[in-house]
Structure 1
Amino acid sequence: MKIIKGVDLKAMRQFAKLTTVQMAEAAGVKTRKTYENWEKEVGCPSVNQFFQMVAACGLNYKDVLEVYLPAQKQNMGDTGSQGR
């Protein structure tokens, strides 16, 4: 299961008014095509690459985690510690 979604990458990029080339450079990949594939859900960046792009977009890591992680936890059907 992919945690980092293409739609999230695209939203970050558009919010920051960056090009796919700029996002690829921020992630440290050789071509924009790799980044564009991530937006299309073909492969995905590593966590380190994701946070490099977060920084390039001028977003705060803490804010991204506060919004992103609870949504991912819910999507994964978190049951907490019930049943233990």
Structure 2
Amino acid sequence: MGRRVPELVMDVDGKETRVAVYHRRRLGVVTDARPASLEIFPEGEHMLDLIVVTFVYIEKLRKDRENQAKKKIMKPYSRHGGP
């Protein structure tokens, strides 16, 4: 299974340039533990506020989607979710 890493790219003269990458936290089970971080490259420094707001928004969408999936899984096991 592949890992999806949220990243922001911009088109500069027909070439995609990475502006920022979000690194999710690591718990340290297989690799070293690491807190979540947002790496912003020099090409994105002029739009720092926009990058931070964008990544906060996509992280909220990801968590909302994750919570909806958990609710669907748990619904058959709830007291009111039976046939």
* TM-score normalised by structure 1 residue count: 0.33
Higher Rg of the two aligned structures: 2
Question: Which structure carries more helix by proportion?
Answer: 1
Question: Which structure carries more strand by proportion?
Answer: 2
* TM-score normalised by structure 2 residue count: 0.33
